[in-house]
Amino acid sequence: MGGGSGSGAVDPVHAVGRRPGSILVPAGPGDAVSAPRVRRVAIQTNLSCRTGWLDDADRDAVALWCTYHPGQTPHDRFLTKTTELTALGVRFSVGVVGLPEHLEAARRLRAELPDSVYLWVNAAEGHEYTDADAAGWIGIDPLFEFSQRPHRTRGRGCRTGDSVVSVDGAGTVRRCHFVPEVLGNLYDDSFRDALRPRPCPLDVCDCHIGYVHAEQLPLYDVFAGGVLERIPAEPVWLPLPARR
């Protein structure tokens, strides 16, 4: 599902863990990014904002999810911002929406970003991809196949509503951004009694911020340590057993 921030400041990825200090809510400069009890803040941005304020942020707590919109944001300016983030030592991922007209711009961006920066691709909302179409995007994002088609999720296990929730600016807590049922409020702690394992009530899930939490997919292993900010874990190479 296509997505991204057009405002330039913050467009938060919301999640809550069961342990104290793991609540992540909408944050801005000087707020949750430096609060001592917050373990992780992931901010979605199109990088039209300044980056200097991140110099005071806890590098272990803050990370960015940076969305590039070809035709809306100049390529060179966006790339300069990513260079600034690298110089600041801030962890980040970069992504684009997989529209056909964005393919060449995405290839150019991938070629100019450091290999260590993950460039993800979101399937465009309402757009169907043949295997041939998808191949071009997989060449940029090897994980694009997870986004290529919706996942059938009704009745299947999902971490949302148990160890993960969605929170809006008023503190209203829902299990998921795509499920309207209210569990309670963040600020009066009324949501906690509603936390429990529960199956997904939706037929399909087609957006990364939803299906990343689906238990049927291996994405918690793929993004271990970087689920909120969409940064894959470093691959671990294991020796093959000796042939007998």
- Cα angle for residues 77, 2, 228 (degrees, 5° grid): 80
- Specify which residues 121 forms β-bridges with: 96
- Among residues 203, 205, 197, which one has the least CA distance to residue 157? 197
**Residue 143: predicted pLDDT:** 95
71, 64 contact by CB (below 8 A): no
- Among residues 48, 3, 57, which one has the least CA distance to residue 28? 57
pLDDT in tens, 59-113: 998 999 999 999 999 999 999 999 999 999 999 999 999 999 999 999 999 999 9
**Residue 179: predicted pLDDT:** 96
- The pLDDT of residue 31 is above 80: no
**Residue 236: predicted pLDDT:** 53
- Among residues 123, 106, 92, which one has the least CA distance to residue 228? 92
